């Protein structure tokens, strides 16, 4: 029994490593959206790995991705820390929901709940971590960052108004894009992720693992 499990464990570790490497590469491909917010799909491999191997594997992929991000960080690791926190807010609920309900509906529910949690985490990390850090790093008052938002949306005179009007919608867009991509890609990639012929449905509403 132990020997029979070793190949599976090795395959799982290899899959985690590959997905983390892909996530790290995607982290470098950013699409400017609004102000200093850029869209990237680095958490897509994290989501796929979470659904294929569970939330613990998803957290491992996310952690490795964050560690690799430190090799080319431009924020002294603060950006990578925030990304890890936000990613964790997505991985845990999405993975736990799908582990309990391995159906298409469960997968979709996990993506929605995970996206909402990640959006909330994104708002909080911006208010209490990212915006204060960048204001300090660039030697500018937080009010100057808020003023950037005022140029787009008049009336944004506080950090909370800034993040609710700009950061939150950006995160909704980001996690919707990742969720849709994950929804479309998981079934075709499922055999590769599982190391055998399996998918998001096996005719009975549950994928074979």
**Which pLDDT tens digit goes with each residue over 149-164?**
888 898 888 999 999 9
79-101: pLDDT as tens digits: 889 999 999 999 999 999 999 98
Q: Copy the structure tokens of residue 127.
A: 């208010």
The whole-model pTM stands at 0.82
- Inter-residue contact 144 to 177 (CB < 8 Å): no
Average pLDDT per consecutive 10 residues, the chain (209 residues; last block may be shorter): 55 91 90 89 94 93 92 82 94 94 90 95 94 87 89 89 95 94 87 62 42
* Helices of type H across the chain: 2-28, 44-53, 55-69, 78-100, 104-125, 131-137, 142-150, 159-162, 168-194
3-state secondary structure 166-197: HHHHHHHHHHHHHHHHHHHHHHHHHHHHHCCC
Domain boundaries, the chain: 2-129+169-194
CATH architecture of 2-129+169-194: Orthogonal Bundle (1.10)
């Amino acid at each position: 029994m132990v020997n029979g499990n070793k190949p599976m464990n090795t395959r799982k570790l290899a899959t985690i490593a590959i997905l983390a490497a892909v996530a790290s590469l995607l982290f470098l491909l950013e699409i400017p959206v609004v102000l200093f917010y850029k869209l990237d799909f680095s958490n897509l491999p994290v989501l796929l790995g979470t659904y294929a191997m569970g939330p613990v594997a998803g957290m491992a992929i996310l952690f490795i991705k964050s560690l690799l991000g430190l090799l080319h960080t431009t924020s002294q690791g603060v950006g990578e820390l925030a990304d890890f926190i936000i990613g964790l807010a997505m991985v845990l609920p999405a993975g736990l929901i799908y582990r309990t309900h391995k159906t298409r509906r469960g997968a979709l529910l996990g993506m929605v709940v995970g996206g909402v949690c990640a959006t909330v985490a994104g708002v909080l990390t911006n208010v209490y971590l990212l915006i204060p850090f960048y204001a300090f790093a660039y030697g500018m008052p937080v009010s100057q960052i808020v003023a950037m938002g005022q140029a787009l949306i008049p009336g944004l005179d506080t950090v909370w108004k800034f993040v609710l009007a700009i950061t939150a919608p950006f995160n909704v867009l980001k996690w919707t894009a990742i969720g849709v991509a994950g929804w479309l890609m998981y079934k075709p990639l499922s055999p590769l992720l599982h190391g055998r012929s399996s998918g998001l449905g096996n005719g009975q509403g549950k994928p074979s693992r």
